[in-house]
Structure formats: structure tokens, C-alpha cells
């Protein structure tokens, strides 16, 4: 077994069944599915166990992380991974059947991370434009991340060598960007054109997770050698001042 797929969730009963159905349809099998309950108070945990029991050729592992915040759930999920490759996804995202197979093919060139693109599920033209856009920007800025936590896959040993996830590194939003600036020190990352997924369209209000235009521009134009300064000396204190810690998403203010 080469792959683990980690899905952290917190009160995702409305979306988790569709996400799990998409993972059940993966053409690459077998794989391990690590479902991390981050203290849900709805029916999410019961649904995860009920649906997980029906998944053939998938080794389903249920873990519980009582500390609130996605960064803790990611850390807990990674601790359960023993396979050479690991994918991290969101509980409100649909993954096409070829997702893991495409990611595995991406690692054939010896890279340390293979990133997916988020596309709309109801507009084929817009989806194609987004995939082409990510191809362009990933070539312009190859040592930055152009993918969120919904679509990141890693060579496990590289992710763990980089320190993995943990509040000791980063306790704010945008953890998907921070982790990549550590992983990229261990090798190259790629964005295959055919590696894409469809996050839910509920994310209308991004105020709980957004950075400012100035912060985003500086991220793009800060040299790779200065990225530690950017995250730990510049961006981190600014996010702390705005109280944009990792628990913001638990409030679902962006629904």
C-alpha cells in the first residue's frame, strides 16, 4: 500500500458523505483513509464510521483530535501515516476517480510534492481556465504554493523531514502556504494539469482566512531564501494582530 489520504473534519455532516463517496470511487487501490474528527458536535463522526465500514479495498482509520483547530487535526492525521505518499484533503471537496492515480504518476520524476488545482464543478470553461492559470503561475513561481489544503500531496518522508504540521511552526490560517515553504527546501514540487478537485461552493465569505493584497504580493515577490523571514517575522505577527488563528474556520464565518 503506497498511499494514505487524510481528511480532517469538524461538523461536516452536510458535506462529508459526498467527499467520502468520491474517495470510494478512486481507481488507485488499495489505500488508507485517515479520518480525523476534530471534536465534531454534529453527526459527522457517526457518518464517517457508518460510511467507512462500507468502503471496499480501503483501510479506514478513525482518529480523534480533541485540540480545536485544523493544524492539530493535520498533525494528528500525519502521525497515523506510514505509507510512502500522503494526500491531504478537505471534507467538503469532491475528488475525481483518477485523483490519486494522477498524483502517483506525478511523483515518478522524484519530486517531493504534487499539488492539485481547485476548479468549479458547474462551469467547464472556467475550470479549464483555472487549470491553465495554475500551470502558468506555477512556472513563474515554482517554489511557492498555488494550491490550498484541499489538494496537497506529499512524499511522506519529505513532509516529515520538513517538520510536518504543528502549532510550534504555525498557529494561524494559511497553514497550507506555510508548510510548503518548508517542504520545498527538500525538493521540487509540481502541478500536473490533470490533478484537480472540486471544493464546495459555500466559500463565499473568505474574510476569516484572507490575507491582504499587499501581503499576497509580497509573498510572491519575496525570494525563496527570504521566505522564513516573510512567514515568521512579517506575516505571522500581522495575522496574530488580526487574531486570524487556526481556529477561525471552526466558526464557519465563510459559509
> What CATH number is attached to the domain comprising 140?
3.90.550.10
pLDDT at residue 206, rounded to an integer: 55
| Residue 91: inside a domain | yes
| Residue 15: inside a domain | yes
**Cα separation, 182 vs 7, whole angstroms:** 21
Residue 10 near residue 73 (C-beta atoms within 8 A): yes
| Residue 208: inside a domain | no
| Residue 242: inside a domain | no
| Residue 245: inside a domain | no
| Residue 136: inside a domain | yes
- The string of DSSP letters for 13-50 reads TTTHHHHHHHHHT-SS-SEEEEEEE-S--SSHHHHHHH
Tell me the angle at which helices 175-183 and 70-79 cross, rounded to the nearest 10 degrees. 40
Residue 10 lies in domain: 3-202
pLDDT at residue 210, rounded to an integer: 79
Total domains, the chain: 1
| Residue 146: inside a domain | yes
pLDDT at residue 245, rounded to an integer: 86
Rg of the chain in Å (alpha carbons): 17
**Which long-range contacts link 234-243 to residues 24+ away (Cβ below 8 Å)?**
235/172, 235/174, 235/211, 236/170, 236/172, 239/172, 239/173, 239/174, 239/211, 240/172
pLDDT at residue 255, rounded to an integer: 46
**Cα separation, 52 vs 47, whole angstroms:** 8
pTM of the model: 0.93
| Residue 222: inside a domain | no
pLDDT at residue 201, rounded to an integer: 82
Written as tens digits, the pLDDT of the chain (255 aa) is 999 999 999 999 999 999 999 999 999 999 999 999 999 999 999 999 999 999 989 999 999 999 999 999 999 999 999 999 999 999 999 999 999 999 999 999 899 999 999 999 999 999 999 999 999 999 999 999 999 999 999 999 999 999 999 999 999 999 999 999 999 999 999 999 999 999 998 765 555 667 899 999 999 999 999 999 999 999 999 999 999 888 766 665 444
Amino acid at each position: 500500500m503506497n498511499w494514505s489520504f487524510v481528511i480532517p473534519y469538524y461538523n461536516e455532516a452536510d458535506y462529508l458523505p459526498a467527499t467520502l463517496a468520491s474517495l470510494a470511487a478512486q481507481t488507485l487501490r488499495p489505500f488508507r483513509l485517515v479520518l480525523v474528527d476534530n471534536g465534531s458536535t454534529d453527526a459527522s463522526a457517526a457518518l464517517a464510521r457508518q460510511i467507512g465500514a462500507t468502503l471496499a479495498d480501503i483501510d479506514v482509520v478513525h482518529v480523534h483530535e480533541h485540540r480545536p483547530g485544523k493544524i492539530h487535526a493535520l498533525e494528528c492525521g500525519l502521525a497515523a501515516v506510514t505509507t510512502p505518499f500522503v494526500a491531504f484533503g478537505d471534507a467538503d471537496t469532491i475528488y475525481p476517480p483518477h485523483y490519486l492515480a494522477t498524483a502517483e504518476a506525478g511523483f515518478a520524476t522524484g519530486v517531493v510534492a504534487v499539488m492539485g488545482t481547485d476548479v468549479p464543478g458547474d462551469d467547464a470553461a472556467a475550470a479549464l481556465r483555472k487549470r491553465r492559470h495554475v500551470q502558468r503561475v506555477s512556472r513563474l513561481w515554482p517554489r511557492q504554493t498555488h494550491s490550498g489544503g484541499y489538494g496537497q500531496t506529499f512524499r511522506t518522508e519529505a513532509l516529515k523531514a520538513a517538520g510536518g504540521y504543528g502549532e510550534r511552526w504555525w498557529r494561524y490560517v494559511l497553514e497550507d502556504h506555510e508548510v510548503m515553504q518548508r517542504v520545498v527546501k527538500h525538493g521540487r514540487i509540481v502541478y500536473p494539469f490533470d490533478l484537480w478537485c472540486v471544493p464546495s461552493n459555500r466559500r463565499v465569505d473568505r474574510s476569516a482566512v484572507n490575507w491582504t493584497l499587499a501581503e499576497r504580493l509580497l509573498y510572491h515577490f519575496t525570494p525563496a531564501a527570504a521566505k522564513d523571514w516573510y512567514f515568521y517575522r512579517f506575516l505571522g505577527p500581522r495575522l496574530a494582530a488580526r487574531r486570524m488563528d487556526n481556529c477561525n474556520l471552526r466558526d464557519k464565518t465563510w459559509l
